[in-house]
Structures are given as C-alpha cells and as structure tokens.
Amino acid sequence: AQSVAQPEDQVNVAEGNPLTVKCTYSVSGNPYLFWYVQYPNRGLQFLLKYITGDNLVKGSYGFEAEFNKSQTSFHLKKPSALVSDSALYFCAVRDTGNTPLVFGKGTRLSVIA
C-alpha cells in the first residue's frame, strides 16, 4: 500500500526567501506524485506532478519539486516566497494510473511579510 509523509505541520518563511515543503513517499511500484494547495474553505488546486521523465518538475505559481528516487522524496520548492503563498499544501501519491490518491497530512505554509 502507498503512503505519504509530510514531516512538518507548519513551515514559516519570510517573504522573498526560498521555501521548501518536505514530502516522502512509499509505494510498491513506480510512483505518481502530486502537490496540491488548499486555501481556507476551498477545494484543492493542482500545483504539479511527477509521472516520469525529468526529476525536476516545474508547476504553477513558480513552484517546483524534485523527485529523488533514492531518498523517496518529492520536496516542494520555490525560490522566492510570496505572502499569497500562505496556504495548506498536500503531497499525494498513487502507484498506478487507476488507484485513488493517498494524501499526506498537509503542511501549513506561512509566509511573513
């Protein structure tokens, strides 16, 4: 069975500084990895995904993530944080195209002006 770990409940970063939100995963086969963002009382917005190919994936709003197979990680990064990036971020994984996504517990990002 697949699982996702987001070790940090909260990440605080100053505006303009780089940010990293950590994610590690466990799957039996090849992973399909995703990052989503959720604003208060809203659904999930897709940021980026890794299916195959280049380990560095670029997504929406300047976010990117690096797939590291040896460390089973898929950390989300952004070179320069904005206050508007403050939200709840979820990492998710599935092991085939047809299985449901399994979500991490979420990491709340707070960007301080």
Partner 1 sequence: GAVVSQHPSRVICKSGTSVKIECRSLDFQATTMFWYRQFPKQSLMLMATSNEGSKATYEQGVEKDKFLINHASLTLSTLTVTSAHPEDSSFYICSARDWSGELFFGEGSRLTVL
Radius of gyration of the chain (CA): 13
Q: Quick one: which of 13, 104, 109, 111 contacts partner 1 (CB under 8 A)?
A: 104
Does 44 contact partner 1 by CB under 8 A? yes
By CB under 8 A, which span of 20-28, 35-43, 62-70, 72-80 interacts with partner 1?
A: 35-43
Token pair of 18, please? 């780089």
Token pair of 86, please? 């403050």
CB of 44 to partner 1, least distance (A): 4
d(CA 44, CA 109): 15
Does 67 contact partner 1 by CB under 8 A? no
Q: Quick one: which of 25, 35, 36, 63 contacts partner 1 (CB under 8 A)?
A: 36
Buried b (16+ CB within 10 A) or exposed e, 51-64: eeeeeebebeeebb
The footprint of partner 1 (CB under 8 A) covers: 34, 36, 41-46, 90, 97-98, 100-106
